[in-house]
Amino acid sequence: VTTFLKKITRFLGDNEWIDASNSNLWSRDWLDKFGEIPIGVAIPSSTNQVSNILKLCYNYEVSVIPQGGNTSLVGGSVSNKKGGLILSMSRMNDISSPDLIGRSVEVGSGVILENLHKELKKSNMILPMHLGSQGSAQIGGLISTNAGGTHAFKYGMMQDLVLGMEVVLPGGQVWNGMRSVQKDNTGYQLRKIFCGAEGSLGVITKAILKLTPAPKKQITALVSFNDINSLIKVASNIRSEIDEFITAIEFFSDSGLKMIEKHISGFSIPIRNRASFYLLLEASTSTEKISLESIFSFALEKAMKGEDHVDAIVALTNKQRAQLWRLREDQPEGQRLSGAQLKHDISVPPAHIQSFLETANKNCQRILKGVRINAFGHIGDGNIHYNISPPTGKKDFLNTDKDFELMIAKLAAELGGSFAAEHGIGTSKVDLAETLRDYQERDIMRSIKRSFDQKALLNPGVVVHEKD
Amino acid sequence: VTTFLKKITRFLGDNEWIDASNSNLWSRDWLDKFGEIPIGVAIPSSTNQVSNILKLCYNYEVSVIPQGGNTSLVGGSVSNKKGGLILSMSRMNDISSPDLIGRSVEVGSGVILENLHKELKKSNMILPMHLGSQGSAQIGGLISTNAGGTHAFKYGMMQDLVLGMEVVLPGGQVWNGMRSVQKDNTGYQLRKIFCGAEGSLGVITKAILKLTPAPKKQITALVSFNDINSLIKVASNIRSEIDEFITAIEFFSDSGLKMIEKHISGFSIPIRNRASFYLLLEASTSTEKISLESIFSFALEKAMKGEDHVDAIVALTNKQRAQLWRLREDQPEGQRLSGAQLKHDISVPPAHIQSFLETANKNCQRILKGVRINAFGHIGDGNIHYNISPPTGKKDFLNTDKDFELMIAKLAAELGGSFAAEHGIGTSKVDLAETLRDYQERDIMRSIKRSFDQKALLNPGVVVHEKD
C-alpha cells in the first residue's frame, strides 16, 4: 500500500489526490446507505492520467470505482469493500463547440448534465435527456447507467444518444472510439456495450453525443383522473392524435402531492379539481409556422372524449409550465422528507400498467397492512417509480423491505418488464438479478465481464458478483 | 460426417434438410461472389430445432452460418470454407398481432421485412426501416447487420428498433430476452450486443420490435443542383426549419440517373431542368390537422433561399411520390446493369460530405484515369454509397480494386467516419478493419467473440479472423 501511494502521488498533483481520511464526500453515496472507506480518491484531468492510474492499479491489484456525480440509487458509484480507489471524473469537463450540421457535441465524461444543457442553449440545440439529478449527474455516469428520464420514450435512453466514445480499459489501454457518425457497422457495437455497464468494463473519458434542435414552442398540460385506466387511455389516445409533438407523458398521484404540500413550503397547486391521479403532458415543435396551441387543445379534447377525467389545465407561459413540472419533479423530494421509504424502479409494457398497479397494490397490503403507496413516473415507456411509505404512525417497514422488493420485481418481470428500468442494478440488485433472470443471461454477463476485466478490478460487485 | 448427417436428418424432416448437392440457392451470395459448398442446409421451424442443430454442430465441431434473406454485400451470409452448415431461418416467420398501446410487435427472425410492412398496414403502424433489399431481407439478418436504410437518421438503425430478442447460443442454450420494454437496465445490454454481430455470437430466433404510427400525410420533393455544397446546405436548412416532419433526406447524381435511363425501360424523369445532383426530401405527419403542404413548401423555399439550385418539384399524390422515389431506389440496379462496378459503403460526419467527395473524386482519377463515379445515399446521416464504374470503353478496373477500397476507407476513417456504415464487414472487410482500426478495438472484439463462441463455430471469418 505504501509503495502504491508513493507511486500514485508522484504523478498526481496535490489537488488531484485525496487521502482516505478526507474522502467522505466521495466515499458515501447520496442516500448515505452505501460506501466503504477507499484507499483514496484520484481526480485526474486527462485521459493520460486515467490510463496511468489504471495501469498502476492493475499492477498492484487495487480495485477502481469510477465515479461521476455520485447520484446512484443502487450503490453503483461507491466502493462496497475497503481499500478501493475512487476515480472521480469531475475534472474531465470540457465541452467542445457543437457540430451544428452533424448535430453532435464532444464532451468530457465529467461534464455535469445541467452545465451541458446551459452551454447548448447558445446554439439552440438540446441533448434530450432530463432527469431529477441533472444538477449533479455527469455524462460518464449517465452513459454508464444508461439513463432514461422523462423524454426517453421519445428520444431514447443514453445508449441512443451516444455516437462515439473514448474508454480507458482495465489495464490502462485507451480505446479510441471517437467517431461522430450514426452509421458505423465495423464489427461489434462497442459504443453500446459500455452503455449501462456501470463502469465495470472500462472508464469512459470522453463522448460524442447526438443533439436535437431546441423546440421553438412548448405547451404543458395537467389532467386529473380518479381512474388510472382512463389516464392510461388518454395518454395513449393523444399520442395517436399528434405523435410527433408529444415530448413528455408523466404521471403521479394525489398521495405524492399531499406529501409535497406537507413538507415543501411555498408550493401552489394550480389545478382546481383534484383527483387520485394526474397526467402531465408536454408538446413541442421546432417550427414557428405551427399553431401548437390549437393543435394540442383539439387533440387533448379528442383524446379525453368518453374518458372519465376530472379537470384539465393547459400552461402556455414558461412560468406556468415550470409550475406544472414542479408537481412532478418534487415527488421524490416530498417523499424523502416524509421519512422512511422503499424505492422501486420498474418498467412494464404500457398495456400492463393498470394490471401491474392493481396487483402490486393488493400484494402490498398483504405484506404490510396500511402501507402507503406513491407511484409516479413515465407512462410513455411504462417506467414506474413505485415507492412505498410506512403505514401512518409507523417509522419503518417492520423488516418486510426485502419482501416488497422481491414481490414488485417479480411482478414486473412476469409482465414482460424489468425490475431495474433506468437506475441500473449496481451492487444492491445483483442478488435480485440472480434470482429473477435465467442462468443463461447471467452467465453471458459473467463471461463478458471476464473478457474485459480478467482481474475483476473495475467497480467490483456491480452487475455480476466478483470472483471469490 | 456420415454420423453427423445421420443424426441431423433424424430430427429434421425431409423438407427441413437440403443436401449439399442441391444447396446452390443458399450457398452462393446474391452478387455470386462468395460462398463455398456447405455440408447441407437446415431450415428449422422452431427454436427447439435450432437449439438441437447447434448442440449437434457443437459436438461435431461443424461450423454454422446463420442465413436470413442472403442479401449480404460483404460475404456475411454464406460460408467461406467448405463443409459448414447453412442455417436458413426462413421458416421462423410468425408475426404476432401488434401491441398498439406499447407499440411493439413480436416476430420470428425469418420474417421478410416487406411482409412485416404489409402486415402492419392493418393496424396503422410502421416499422420505420426501409432499404433496397426489403423484399428479401429478413428481420434476423437486418438485426445482425444492424441495418440502416433511408429513414435511419430519423428513427435510428435496427439496434434502436429492437426491444427484446430470443437467441440460441453456440452450444445450443437458449437466451430468453423477450422483454417488450424500452427501459431495462438489468446489467449489460445483451440485446444491443447481438445487433451488428453478423450472426457470430448467437442465432436470433425471435425479436420484439418497436413500432411507430403510420404517417397520415406525406410529401416528397426533388430539387436539382449543380453544386453539391448547396445541396448539403439546403438539406441542413430544411431540417432546421421543420425538423419533426422530415423523414427522408437522400441524394443521387445525374450520372446515376443516366445509367438508369440507359438500362431500365419505361423510366420517366419528372423534373424538367436536370443538373449534376439531386436532393430527395420527404416530410410526414401523423396529424390530420396540419397543412403539411403549406408548411413544407414554405420551409423548402426558405431553405433554398440564397442557395444555387436549378429546379424543384413537389409530389403530393402517392403515384407522384413513388415516381420520385424510384429515381433514388433504382440507382443500384441501374449501375449493376451498366457492368463492372466497385461498391463502397462509407459514412462521414455530414459537415464533411463535401470534403470527402472532393478528395475522393480527385484521388480516384489518380488511381485510374477516366473512372466514373456514382455517389448516392443518405445525406441526413452522412452515409454515402460511393460506387465506381470503369472508364468508358474499359471492362474492369485493371487490378486497382483494392487501391480504391483502401483509399476510400482510409479517407472516411480520417474524417471521423466509417468504412462499413450499414452493410457490415462480413468476411470481405475484416482485413480493412485490421488495417484501419486500432489494435485495442480489434482485440476487444476478438475477446468478445471468444467469450461467446469458444470453438469459433458460429459464422467463422466474419467480424474477426477465426482461430488457426
Residue B218 touches chain A, beta carbons under 8 Å:
no
**Percentage of chain B modeled with pLDDT above 70:** 99
Per-residue model confidence as pLDDT tens digits over A99-133: 999 999 999 999 999 999 999 999 999 999 999 89
For residue B466, name the pLDDT band (cuts at 50, 70, 90).
low
Distance from CA of A60 to the nearest CA of B (A): 22
> 285-344 in A: which are within 8 Å (CB) of B?
285-287, 289-290, 295, 298-299
With CB atoms and an 8 Å threshold, state whether B175 touches A464: no
Integer CA distances (angstroms), B111 to A115, B210, B426, in order: 45, 15, 22
pLDDT score of B266 more than 90: no
Amino acid A467: pLDDT:
55
Q: For position A56, what pLDDT does the model report?
A: 97
Q: Above 90 in pLDDT, residue B302?
A: yes
DSSP codes, B435-460: HHS-HHHHHHHHHHHHHH-TT--BST
State residue A32's pLDDT score. Answer: 86
Mean pLDDT of A408-436: 96
Closest CA to A336 of A24, A25, A33: A33
Dist CA B408 CA B468 (whole Å):
30
Distance of alpha carbon A364 from alpha carbon A407, whole angstroms: 8
Per-residue model confidence (pLDDT) at position A466? 67
CB of A371 within 8 A of CB of A388?
yes
| pLDDT at B468 exceeding the cut of 50 | no
Kindly state the average pLDDT of the residues B315-328: 93
B412-457 pLDDT, tens digit per residue, is: 999 999 999 999 999 999 999 999 999 999 999 999 999 999 999 9
Average pLDDT of B20-49? 94
Q: Which residue in A180, A416, A437 is closest to B180 by CB distance? A: A416
> DSSP state, A195?
T
Give A152's contacts in chain B (Cβ within 8 Å).
182-183
The answer to whether residue A349 neighbours chain B at the CB level (below 8 Å) is: yes
User: How many CA atoms lie within 13 Å of B144's alpha carbon, on the beta-carbon side?
Assistant: 35
Q: CA-CA distance, A195 to A173, in Å (whole number)? A: 19
The β-bridge partners of B61 are none
Q: Mean pLDDT over all residues of chain B?
A: 95
SS3 A17: strand
Which of the residue ranges A266-270, B375-379, B403-407 would you say has the lowest mean pLDDT?
A266-270
Say whether pLDDT at B467 is over 60.
no
What pLDDT sits at residue A445?
96
Is B418 close to A145, i.e. CB distance below 8 A? Answer: no
Q: Can you give the pLDDT at residue B265?
A: 87
Q: HSE-up of B148 (CA within 13 Å, CB side)?
A: 24
What is the model's pLDDT at position A468?
41
Q: How many CA atoms lie within 13 A of A105 on its CB side?
A: 28
Average pLDDT, chain A: 95
Q: How far apart are CA B177 and CA B269, in angstroms?
A: 48
- Residue B459 in contact with partner chain A when CB distance is under 8 A: no
**pLDDT 10s digits, B207-228:** 999 999 999 999 999 999 999 9
Give residue-wise pLDDT tens across range A353-382. Answer: 999 999 999 999 999 999 999 999 999 999
Nearest to A159 among B192, B245, B420 (CB): B192
Range A376-399 average pLDDT:
95
**Chain B within 8 Å of A243 (Cβ-Cβ)?**
yes
- Is B425's CB within 8 Å of A188's CB? no
Mean pLDDT of A239-266: 93
Mean pLDDT of the region A178-187 = 96
Q: What is the mean pLDDT of residues A36-65?
A: 97
Q: Which three cell numbers stand for residue A365?
A: 397490503
* Contact of A420 with A429, CB cutoff 8 Å: yes
Alpha carbon of A369: minimum distance to chain B alpha carbons (Å): 30
> pLDDT band for position B385 (50/70/90)?
very high
The mean pLDDT of B397-414, rounded to a whole number, is 97
Q: pLDDT tens-digit profile of A59-106?
A: 999 999 999 999 999 999 999 999 999 999 999 999 999 999 999 999
